[in-house]
Amino acid sequence: MQHNPFFDPAPRQHTDGLFAREEVYLANRNHGALLEMLRHEVTPAGLHYLLNHFDVPYVPDAEAWRLHVGGRVSTPLSLSLEDIRALPPKTLRVTLECAGSGRANIVPRWPSMPWLNTAVGTSEWTGTPLSNVIERAGLAADVVDVSFTGADRGFDKGHEHEYGRSLTPDVAMHNDVLLVYAMNGQPLLPQHGFPLRLIVPGWYGMASVKWLHRIEALTMPYDGYEQVQSYIYKTGAADRGVPVTQMRVKSLMVPPGVPDWFTGARLVEAGQVTVYGRAWSGNGAPITKVEFGIDGAWSNAELDPPAAKYAWRGWRFDWDASRGEHELACRATDDNGQTQPLTPAFDRGGFGNNAVHKVQVTVR
Amino acid sequence: MQHNPFFDPAPRQHTDGLFAREEVYLANRNHGALLEMLRHEVTPAGLHYLLNHFDVPYVPDAEAWRLHVGGRVSTPLSLSLEDIRALPPKTLRVTLECAGSGRANIVPRWPSMPWLNTAVGTSEWTGTPLSNVIERAGLAADVVDVSFTGADRGFDKGHEHEYGRSLTPDVAMHNDVLLVYAMNGQPLLPQHGFPLRLIVPGWYGMASVKWLHRIEALTMPYDGYEQVQSYIYKTGAADRGVPVTQMRVKSLMVPPGVPDWFTGARLVEAGQVTVYGRAWSGNGAPITKVEFGIDGAWSNAELDPPAAKYAWRGWRFDWDASRGEHELACRATDDNGQTQPLTPAFDRGGFGNNAVHKVQVTVR
């Protein structure tokens, strides 16, 4: 990991003010899912949230792509896509959320991708369990971390690196961690990791390395920038922090009515309105309850039948909308008893904001 | 067109300062094309720029969709998608740019979607010439405008409306104006107008109405909000203005090297670097020249073979990158002799910014 002090163009500090041009630059490149598209159980192509740290690699010839597996293994491998597609296939419907979703609602705010609350999506991911490849390579008994490196490269705070992350061997060998080459039955889109990526169900998206080209078995803890410096929960500067891993329980609603273009403020017609939404949690923990809040009073929403293990669960609430201003909200609970806070906890990097989704509406 | 003074939540004024939360909200919803994806002649699904004024309509049953054709016609029509797919098909490769692309680089800036410079994309659009439908309906001789209304509805500055636009009969009857149901050989994606949209080649994207459900032949000029109030070039508040129509000549480059995550600043290795890009113009005017600028000195770039009539044309430039800081730029000229200005002209709504694309790089 190389630190290049001459290439850290804009040192950052927390702010509670307006947004910098750099934040807007990131919001031009990355995009959320559009809340109204929560009506779709599987997010349509191009509407799955996108958070790419560096340029999307240009891969004109996927047949030349190789996945190298090395480090403390008995048999180093160099696998083509054909090799990987020949392994037993597996498809999982997985909800992924960006760890930074909701960052722009945390005060003070860390300047980075200024997500409001839409960095989430659900796809059918097809590939093969990573364990099939790792078993073929054969991990040594003293391996403590398995690292995953993508082909996307650049700088962050002067650190030059290819995007990389690691998993402990027990997580890496879990049968639902996939090496993925297809999304919703189509080849991966370039921006989602073509030709090969990792999918780590239940975890925030940073674990699901895109454009994966190198796996390495390590006998010392992995110290890549995105693992040990970037995705860490911290509340103070001196805080050693806690790594970001599984997604926290969360829910979102389709804002009812129609929007004002510039503000997104909602106008709703008085009367019966069905409000739709989805809820999810990490670690495959099922959603057991979603509450719908109207001006601070909570009622249970109706849950759709249980979804696939790692996918969000639909819900709906029939609201009798009366004229005036109202604050709507939704709050999910999973079967670990975890639920959502009413307001976001402060986090230095703006990670893990699972506060309830609130929508202000004007009913006429 | 209804003006609702109680629903204009945030009156706007020009600014040269930081960005408002509302601008960031719009940048969370809408997205550009990723400059590195200019390597692709046809923009991959999900990376075509997206500018939606209101919610994407939820259309669970496309077979129930009807296109109504009415007003001053001899035969009002109500057409299903099956009816439209039965008409002679036509596919065109078309580059579309948002009229507001580059808005965030105009000083002072109009608060709206804060596009830097990536609101452009190229797709293969398949449908049938609009003229096939209009001829079947039969325009009266005194028709002066044909209006197109989408199913997306909301407010802008207190004006409630479905998104709508119009074309004069001669433009509407042009054989390359299409009623489109497929994009890159796939059904339209919801966010790009599923199940039916207009494509008006050569024009900025605002003319290509999505979720099209009503066409009306008018004997008076169309006065819809998006036609007469929104997409108008104006330099002063009292200026009557000029409607935004055809795309202005423009070019963009793939920034060489690798980025800093937060700023997008580029670091390039010294030596031979091939810089790639694309150029386009409105009205099907072919691109005849692209110049590449290095610290203000211009040379001709190499043009790819001519592209399809309405599609961008590729270009490349072999640059011998020397250590230090450099400003790269590209400038296209079309066969009408139109070329790009070095700096953006002021426009009140932030439309039509076709200033040269400049990229600052550090070469090591």
B161 to chain A, closest Cα gap in Å: 10
State the pLDDT confidence band at A5, using cuts at 50, 70 and 90: low
pLDDT of residue B5: 64
Q: Is A47 in contact with B189 (Cβ distance < 8 A)? A: yes
Percent of chain B's residues with pLDDT above 90: 95
Q: Which of A23, A48, A155 sits opposite B260 (nearest CB)?
A: A155
**Which of A84, A159, A158, A169 lies closest to A127 in space, CA to CA?**
A84
Name chain B contacts of A46, Cβ cutoff 8 Å: 45-48, 50, 189, 191-192
pLDDT over threshold 70, residue B123: yes
Name chain B contacts of A30, Cβ cutoff 8 Å: 31
Q: Residue B42 burial by CB count (10 A; 0-12/13-18/19+): exposed, middle or buried?
A: middle
Q: Which of B26, B28, B37 sits opposite A115 (nearest CB)?
A: B28
B244 to chain A, closest Cα gap in Å: 19
Q: Is B9 in contact with A118 (Cβ distance < 8 A)? A: no
Name chain A contacts of B52, Cβ cutoff 8 Å: 34
Least confidently predicted of A236-240, A294-298, A322-326, B248-252: A236-240
Q: Is A154 in contact with B261 (Cβ distance < 8 A)? A: yes
Q: Which residues of A229-262 are buried (b: 16+ CB within 10 A; e: fewer)?
A: ebbbbeeeeeeebeebbbbbbbbbbbbbbbbbbb
Q: Is B153 in contact with A258 (Cβ distance < 8 A)? A: yes
Q: Is B258 in contact with A154 (Cβ distance < 8 A)? A: yes
Q: Is A18 in contact with B22 (Cβ distance < 8 A)? A: no
Name chain B contacts of A7, Cβ cutoff 8 Å: 260, 265, 267, 362
State the pLDDT confidence band at A2, using cuts at 50, 70 and 90: low
**Which of A55, A197, A187, A43 lies closest to A120 in space, CA to CA?**
A43
Q: Which of A4, A154, A264 sits opposite B259 (nearest CB)?
A: A154
Mean pLDDT value of segment A63-92: 98
CA nearest to A105 within chain B: B21
Q: Which of A18, A27, A47 sits opposite B191 (nearest CB)?
A: A47
Name chain B contacts of A153, Cβ cutoff 8 Å: 258
A270 to chain B, closest Cα gap in Å: 15
pLDDT over threshold 60, residue B364: yes
A321 to chain B, closest Cα gap in Å: 17
Tokens of A310: 């790692």
Q: Which run of H or of E encompasses A25?
A: helix A21-29
Residue identified by tokens 């003074």 is B5
Name chain A contacts of B4, Cβ cutoff 8 Å: 267
A140 to chain B, closest Cα gap in Å: 35
Q: Is A55 in contact with B36 (Cβ distance < 8 A)? A: yes
State the pLDDT confidence band at A11, using cuts at 50, 70 and 90: confident
pLDDT over threshold 70, residue B143: yes
Q: What is the DSSP letter of A39?
A: G
pLDDT in tens, A121-152: 999 999 999 999 999 999 999 999 999 999 99
Tokens of B167: 């074309």
A112 to chain B, closest Cα gap in Å: 6
Residue A96 phi/psi, 5-degree rounding, is -115, 140
pLDDT of residue A3: 66
3-state SS, residue A358: strand
Q: Is B31 in contact with A36 (Cβ distance < 8 A)? A: no
Q: Is A22 in contact with B264 (Cβ distance < 8 A)? A: yes
The answer to whether residues A321 and A214 touch, using CB atoms and an 8 Å cutoff, is: no
Percent of chain A's residues with pLDDT above 70: 98
Residue A49 and residue A32: Cα distance in Å, rounded?
4
**Amino acid making up residue A188:** L
Name chain A contacts of B192, Cβ cutoff 8 Å: 46
Q: Is B55 in contact with A36 (Cβ distance < 8 A)? A: yes
B53 to chain A, closest Cα gap in Å: 6
Q: Which of A30, A53, A259 sits opposite B54 (nearest CB)?
A: A259
pLDDT in tens, A288-312: 999 999 999 999 999 999 999 999 9
**Which of B222, B173, B181 lies closest to B71 in space, CA to CA?**
B222
Residue B81 and residue B73: Cα distance in Å, rounded?
21
Least confidently predicted of A283-287, A320-324, B65-69: A283-287
State the pLDDT confidence band at A10, using cuts at 50, 70 and 90: confident
pLDDT over threshold 90, residue B104: yes
Q: Is A112 in contact with B262 (Cβ distance < 8 A)? A: yes
pLDDT of residue A54: 98
Q: Which of B7, B45, B115 sits opposite A260 (nearest CB)?
A: B7
pLDDT of residue B283: 74
Domains recognised in chain B with CATH numbers? 2-237 (3.90.420.10), 250-363 (2.60.40.650)
pLDDT over threshold 60, residue B348: yes
pLDDT over threshold 80, residue B172: yes
pLDDT in tens, B7-31: 887 789 999 999 999 999 999 999 9
Tokens of B175: 């054989």
> What residues does A298 pair with on adjacent strands?
A293
CA nearest to B11 within chain A: A262
Q: Which run of H or of E encompasses A181?
A: strand A178-183
Choosing among B260, B357, B359, which should be mutated to test the A contact, i.e. which has the most A CBs within 10 A? B260
Between the CA of residue B133 and those of A179, A342, B48, B213, B222, what are the distances in Å? 48, 53, 27, 13, 20
The answer to whether residues A80 and A152 touch, using CB atoms and an 8 Å cutoff, is: no
Residue identified by tokens 């003070």 is A108
Q: Is A44 in contact with B189 (Cβ distance < 8 A)? A: yes
Mean of the per-residue pLDDT values of chain A: 96
Choosing among B4, B15, B29, B325, which should be mutated to test the A contact, i.e. which has the most A CBs within 10 A? B29
State the pLDDT confidence band at A237, using cuts at 50, 70 and 90: confident
Q: Which of B156, B190, B258 sits opposite A261 (nearest CB)?
A: B156
Q: Which of A46, A156, A190 sits opposite B261 (nearest CB)?
A: A156
CB pairs A-B closer than 8 Å: 212
Q: Is B55 in contact with A258 (Cβ distance < 8 A)? A: yes
pLDDT in tens, A48-75: 999 999 999 999 999 999 999 999 999 9
**Amino acid making up residue B32:** G
State the pLDDT confidence band at B351, using cuts at 50, 70 and 90: very high
Residue B81 and residue B105: Cα distance in Å, rounded?
41
pLDDT over threshold 80, residue B6: no
The model's pTM is: 0.97
Cβ count near B169 (within 10 Å):
17
Half-sphere exposure of A236 (CA within 13 A, CB side): 3
Q: What is the DSSP letter of A189?
A: P
Residue A295 and residue A326: Cα distance in Å, rounded?
6
Name chain A contacts of B54, Cβ cutoff 8 Å: 258-259, 261
Mean pLDDT value of segment A215-219: 98
Choosing among A152, A231, A261, A275, which should be mutated to test the B contact, i.e. which has the most B CBs within 10 A? A261
Q: Which of A29, A50, A258 sits opposite B54 (nearest CB)?
A: A258
pLDDT in tens, B256-275: 999 999 999 999 999 999 99
Q: Is B7 in contact with A50 (Cβ distance < 8 A)? A: no
Mean pLDDT value of segment B101-114: 97
Name chain B contacts of A39, Cβ cutoff 8 Å: 58, 60
Q: Rounded to the nearest 10 degrees, what angle do helices A21-29 and B21-29 cross at?
A: 20
The answer to whether residues B358 and B352 touch, using CB atoms and an 8 Å cutoff, is: no
The complex's ipTM works out to 0.96
pLDDT of residue B237: 82
pLDDT of residue B284: 75
Backbone angle region of B53, left / alpha / beta, with phi > 0 → left and psi within -120 to 50 → alpha: alpha
Q: How far is CA B87 from the centre of its chain?
A: 26
The answer to whether residues A298 and A339 touch, using CB atoms and an 8 Å cutoff, is: no
pLDDT of residue A4: 67
pLDDT over threshold 70, residue B2: no
**Which of A71, A85, A197 lies closest to A144 in space, CA to CA?**
A71
Q: Is A190 in contact with B17 (Cβ distance < 8 A)? A: no
Residue A209 and residue B51: Cα distance in Å, rounded?
29
Percent of chain A's residues with pLDDT above 90: 95
Q: Is B153 in contact with A48 (Cβ distance < 8 A)? A: no
The answer to whether residues B140 and B76 touch, using CB atoms and an 8 Å cutoff, is: no
State the pLDDT confidence band at A9, using cuts at 50, 70 and 90: confident
B52 to chain A, closest Cα gap in Å: 9
A162 to chain B, closest Cα gap in Å: 10
